[in-house]
Amino acid sequence: MFDPGFIRLLTESVGEEKARIVLDALGRDPSVSVRLNPSKLTEVPFPDAERVPWSPYGWLLPERPSFTMDPLFHAGCYYVQDSSAMFVGELFRRTFVPEGRPVVLDLCAAPGGKTTDLAASLRAMCGDGFTLLANEVMKARFRVLRENVATWGDSRVAVLSRDPSAFPDRPVFDAIVADVPCSGEGMFRKDDRAVEEWSAQTVAFCAARQRRILSDIWPSLKEGGLLVYSTCTFNREENDGNVGWICEELGAEVLDPGDICGVTRTQRGYALLPGLVPGEGQYAAALRKTAPAGRSGKGDPVLELGATFPAAAAPAGPEIDVDLPTALQYLHGDAVRLPADAPKGLLTVCYRGHALGPAKNLGTRANNLYPKEKRIRKDIR
């Protein structure tokens, strides 16, 4: 099933015993987990859910429900995210010390899981006093990122699509989270193509590309600033090896926040391995930039980079709460009948107090203004 080179590199990276556990786990079904949006929801809406050990907002589910048929999902009340990927947010929370009004960059942000986790963390730390830039260079993936950020609904999160080489060559960011493109060993249970496309050459190519990305973005990080480096792969070339390269070539020191919820410690970071923890796998390390800063970092990177705030738009008119069948009809794109006391004109359709989108109430019926690209396509009956 797996390339012998993968098994060999996995064993060299995590040891023979852990490698056996990982290989056994990769033959099982993937886990399911969600992370609540604390600005919208405080109680998990799924029965028998268990807390993710390293996330104050994360919950493991015993089985996969139909998220598509849950209006709370469409309202941004929670985000479906692999539990091990949530560790990046926890490492950020444990190592980032905000000063003033911090500006943080999520460099490789699509589809938005880590962005929304960072947004919740920064809001808890700073209130409205922060700016989070979520960047994705691939245009198709950027559209998904923009939609997910808008649905999450934090007005301090801006989105942009730039190559790392296009960022300022001066220090403007207090922290950068770089979940860099990788060989994707943590996707093996969810994507057969990831297994088929793996090769030692791919690992070497990814490791080199990661170093290029980090070299390009490094001047934008302030001296003393935080870098959280992460991948969804297991091998040491893309993980500890590249963290060592960052320290030696770019100028940084590894931060050690101590043991975290039984996660495997590596030489320079943390490895979340399937079978040892819930989730599909993640590597993360935290570093402080020690290299001297360049020229002055004054200026607004939001304006300079042309970023936009997709969640900043105000709701459309009065908010009208509807029941579950009506909410699903609305999300499906159907004409809906609103409550008799709903005012005529432009309004916001809500479910359990959470906004879904706009509609124009004509009295006998309402014109559905929910964006076509977001509508439920499956049969809702």
Residues noted as catalytic: 232
Residue bearing tokens 């309402």: 366
Which residues, listed in sequence order, are joined to residue 349 by a DSSP beta bridge? 320, 357
Smallest Cα–Cα separation from 271: which of 226, 227, 251, 241? 241
Smallest Cα–Cα separation from 272: which of 32, 7, 35, 53? 53
Provide the CA 281 distance to its chain's centre, in angstroms: 14
3-state DSSP assignment of residue 376: coil
Tally: H helices and E strands in the chain: 11, 17
Other Cβ atoms less than 10 A from the Cβ of 192: the count is 10
Smallest Cα–Cα separation from 98: which of 219, 216, 261, 222? 222
Residue bearing tokens 């900043």: 312
Q: Pairing mode, if any, of strands 78-80 and 50-51?
A: unpaired
Sign of CA dihedral 105, 108, 109, 114: negative
